[in-house]
Amino acid sequence: MAIQIIIWMSAFLCLVQVFSMPMPCHLQGQLVRSTHNLLRDMGGHFPLECLQDNVFMEFPATAFATSGGPQLSSSGAKAIYETLKNIDTLFGTDELPTMWDQQKLEYFQNIVYRQIEESKCMMSSVDTSDYPIRAEGLKTYFGNIAAVLKEKNSSYCAWEVVRKELLYTLEFILKHNSDSLLWSNRT
């Protein structure tokens, strides 16, 4: 009986140890890539009839800049998280284009939401020295994107401009901050 109690206590202590270990907080590279690909594929190439609505928006590259090494600082990772939250907010409307592939649009929205939910812990990381500067750049950028939608009454062409901008943003993250994303070993 004593051996059985010791075995149960040992098993319990092992489980407590395993479940009390902190889980790493990372943005998943596969999900960011899927987000980009779904956004790209849901609407195809930029429509020629929307060229007159295409506007220049200064991209806040400094919001994603690495500081010294290959790993993105925690404030840079927060900037990527904040970008996903802004994308989720933009796509949280009922005024989305019906010309887009609706199944891909739904998958896109679900993956963005999943990334936000799984990465909320990013906002509690310690290194926040340059985050306010990054956040201000993102606020301006996404404010400009929202202004285009509002100015053009959420027209199809306005959404295509938004999609083009967000594709560029996600491409930039994948190209310049890939080392900061968690990539699974599966291929």
Which two structure tokens, joined as six digits, stand for 57?
């928006």
Which two structure tokens, joined as six digits, stand for 130?
């340059």
pLDDT digits (tens, 9 = 90+) for 130-170: 778 888 999 999 999 999 999 999 999 999 999 999 999 99
% of the chain residues with pLDDT over 70:
76
Give the domain extent around 93: 26-180
Number of domains in the chain: 1
Q: Would you say residue 3 lies in a domain? A: no
Q: Lowest mean pLDDT: which of 3-12, 30-39, 153-162, 172-181? A: 3-12
Phi, psi for 85 (deg, rounded to 5): -65, -40
Instruction: Pick the most confident of 5-9, 85-89, 93-97.
Output: 85-89
Q: Would you say residue 121 lies in a domain? A: yes
pTM (two decimals): 0.79
Q: Would you say residue 103 lies in a domain? A: yes
